[in-house]
Amino acid sequence: MAKLKWGMIGGGEGSQIGPAHRLGAGLDGAFEFTAGALDHRPDAGREYGQRLGLAEDRAYGDWQEMLAGEKGREDRIDLVTVATPNSTHFEITKSFLEAGFHVLCEKPMTMTVEEGEEIVKLAKSTGKICAVNYGYSGYSLVRHMRAMVARGDLGKIRMVKAEFAHGHHADAADADNPRVRWRYDPAQAGVSAQFADCGIHALHMASFVIGQEAERLSADTVSCIQSRELEDDAMVNLRFDGGAAGRLWTSSIALGNQHGLTMQVFGENGGLRWAQEQPNQLFWTPLGGRVQIIERGEGNLSPEADRTSRVTVGHAEGMPLAFANIYADLAEAINADKQGRPIDPAANLYPRAEDGLRSMAAVSAVAESGKADGAWMDARPPMFR
Ligand code: NAI
């Protein structure tokens, strides 16, 4: 099948989320990175886009230029990802939908409910996809939780408890740093800081897993660092349309928590527990039974889990990224060789033939030692002795 053409707005050099999008879109080879307006500084965006392999005429300076350029092409992009700061999502997403492009927009999709309604209506009227990157719902075991709930393993869902509480804005002395301050400033962040940034991930996942939507809620919001106008911590009680209750805690001052996205679901017949930082294990406790660990990739899980399990059981989800680092080292080594320059020492770490040989010597020594009642053997290859 021909590759789909993919474009990106935002996600420039040094951005937090740009590399994750490029890795994610590129992994299966279904999408080809074809166009971009990657930076708020036009020249930096053009230059970085070309360094990433974009053609000169498709490494754009800003999103308006990209829209005009792509709109007129026969081989226009099939999908555009909007990974710019929040306040720009609405305008960019709206413009690309109106021009007939499919869009994947970063969260929060818009700054207001009214804008959000406009986007939903526009996606319907244009018939174009408008996806939102609640990316954690892509985890295989999150899909399995949803499947277990849907097929009734837990019985009626009584309670869902979701957390997204990290500690990365806990330093009061750093609160005035411009990179942090804007997030708590209503003029730039809108009506909410921490809930809009992280709480919505937890809420989306809770709804996704239990198959129910939030109907009512009650929130206790706090600015633990008092100079902040918007909240840095919130506890939200929820009632869902299928009868479940919910508790959601989100925080940016939870010192010691790194990422802090966790999910627990309690039904009449059992409970589930999962954490983003250990995505390969799902803890399942049937009523009256013991805690069981469901491993990603173990097989005989739901079709939704099997489809999204990329590496065999026991390997970490990040394992393909480790492979990608080996390829990146090799690319640097080959390019250095071609250009007659020394290789970047930080990339000069790929395993060599010598490592392969050492392994074989160890294999041979282990076999011999095993036969010789565990006698000590020389583990080195003869040529390195
Ligand atoms: P960042 O500040 O690290 O990077 C933003 C990038 O966008 C920069 O390269 C900047 O030059 C570029 N940019 C800014 N305005 C632009 C414009 N008008 N046109 C083109 N490029 C522009 O921001 P970060 O952390 O990467 O966040 C971007 C978005 O992704 C935010 O909406 C954030 O909420 C979301 N995000 C989503 C996550 C998820 O798990 N789904 C995780 C982290 C961030």
Q: What is the ipTM of this complex?
A: 0.99
Does the beta carbon of 40 lie inside 6 Å of ligand 1?
yes
Question: Does some domain include residue 321?
Answer: no
Does the beta carbon of 39 lie inside 6 Å of ligand 1?
yes
At which of 133, 158, 185 does a domain end? 133
State the average pLDDT over residues 159-187.
Answer: 94
**Does the pLDDT at position 317 exceed 90?**
no
Residue 179: which pLDDT band, with cuts at 50, 70 and 90?
A: confident
Does the beta carbon of 83 lie inside 6 Å of ligand 1?
yes
At which of 255, 284, 307 does a domain end? 307
Residue 172: which pLDDT band, with cuts at 50, 70 and 90?
A: very high
Do 254 and 299 belong together in one domain? yes
**Does the pLDDT at position 197 exceed 90?**
yes
Do 295 and 157 belong together in one domain? yes
Does the beta carbon of 157 lie inside 6 Å of ligand 1?
no
Ligand 1 atom 9 nearest Cα: 12
Rounded Cα distance between 262 and 304, Å, is 20
Rg of the chain, C-alpha, whole Å: 25
Torsion angle (degrees, nearest 10) of CA 210, 216, 217, 218: -150
Q: What is the pLDDT of residue 321?
A: 85
Rounded Cα distance between 204 and 123, Å, is 20
At which of 307, 323, 341 does a domain end? 307
CATH number of the domain encompassing residue 101? 3.40.50.720
Do 161 and 125 belong together in one domain? no
Does the beta carbon of 8 lie inside 6 Å of ligand 1?
no
Does the beta carbon of 85 lie inside 6 Å of ligand 1?
yes
CA–CA distances in Å: residue 98 to residues 146, 302, 305: 33, 37, 35
C-alpha 198 – ligand 1 centre gap (Å) = 14
**25-52 residue pLDDT tens:** 998 899 999 999 999 999 999 999 999 9
Task: Quote the tokens at residue 237.
Answer: 């009680």
**Does the pLDDT at position 108 exceed 90?**
yes
**267-300 residue pLDDT tens:** 999 999 999 999 999 999 999 999 999 999 998 8
Do 102 and 173 belong together in one domain? no
Host domain of residue 372 = 351-385
Question: Does some domain include residue 68?
Answer: yes
Residue 63: which pLDDT band, with cuts at 50, 70 and 90?
A: very high
Pocket-testing residue among 15, 208, 252, ligand 1, by greatest number of atoms within 8 A of Cβ: 15
Q: What is the pLDDT of residue 151?
A: 97
C-alpha 296 – ligand 1 centre gap (Å) = 30
C-alpha 262 – ligand 1 centre gap (Å) = 24
Do 78 and 166 belong together in one domain? no
Comparison of pLDDT for 328 and 149, the residue scoring more: 149
DSSP state of 203: H
Residue 147: which pLDDT band, with cuts at 50, 70 and 90?
A: very high
Question: Does some domain include residue 320?
Answer: no
C-alpha 88 – ligand 1 centre gap (Å) = 10
Q: Cβ-count burial of 178 within 10 angstroms (0-12 exposed, 13-18 middle, 19+ buried)?
A: exposed
**Does the pLDDT at position 320 exceed 90?**
no
State the average pLDDT over residues 231-248.
Answer: 96
Average pLDDT, the chain: 95
Does the beta carbon of 180 lie inside 6 Å of ligand 1?
no
Question: Does some domain include residue 31?
Answer: yes
Do 38 and 162 belong together in one domain? no
Q: What is the pLDDT of residue 306?
A: 92
Q: What is the pLDDT of residue 344?
A: 95
C-alpha 10 – ligand 1 centre gap (Å) = 6
**118-137 residue pLDDT tens:** 999 999 999 999 999 999 99
Do 90 and 223 belong together in one domain? no
**pTM for the structure as a whole:** 0.92
Question: Does some domain include residue 270?
Answer: yes
Does the beta carbon of 135 lie inside 6 Å of ligand 1?
yes
C-alpha 11 – ligand 1 centre gap (Å) = 6
Do 57 and 183 belong together in one domain? no
Do 232 and 294 belong together in one domain? yes
Task: Quote the tokens at residue 7.
Answer: 């474009």
Does the beta carbon of 12 lie inside 6 Å of ligand 1?
yes
Question: Does some domain include residue 334?
Answer: no
Residue 308: which pLDDT band, with cuts at 50, 70 and 90?
A: very high
Residue 60: which pLDDT band, with cuts at 50, 70 and 90?
A: very high
Do 51 and 162 belong together in one domain? no
SS (H, E, C) 74-107: CCCCCEEEEECCHHHHHHHHHHHHHCCCEEEECC
Do 64 and 148 belong together in one domain? no
Question: Does some domain include residue 325?
Answer: no
> What's the structural domain count of the chain?
3
Ligand 1 atom 15 nearest Cα: 40
Do 148 and 297 belong together in one domain? yes
Does the beta carbon of 37 lie inside 6 Å of ligand 1?
yes
**Does the pLDDT at position 1 exceed 80?**
no
**326-335 residue pLDDT tens:** 988 999 999 9
Q: What is the pLDDT of residue 296?
A: 96
Q: What is the pLDDT of residue 300?
A: 86
Rounded Cα distance between 236 and 86, Å, is 23
Does the beta carbon of 17 lie inside 6 Å of ligand 1?
yes
CATH number of the domain encompassing residue 239? 3.30.360.10
C-alpha 325 – ligand 1 centre gap (Å) = 24
State the average pLDDT over residues 237-258.
Answer: 97
Does the beta carbon of 192 lie inside 6 Å of ligand 1?
no
Question: Does some domain include residue 81?
Answer: yes
**333-364 residue pLDDT tens:** 999 999 999 999 999 999 989 999 999 999 99
Contact yes or no for 166/251 (Cβ under 8 A): yes
State the average pLDDT over residues 91-98.
Answer: 98
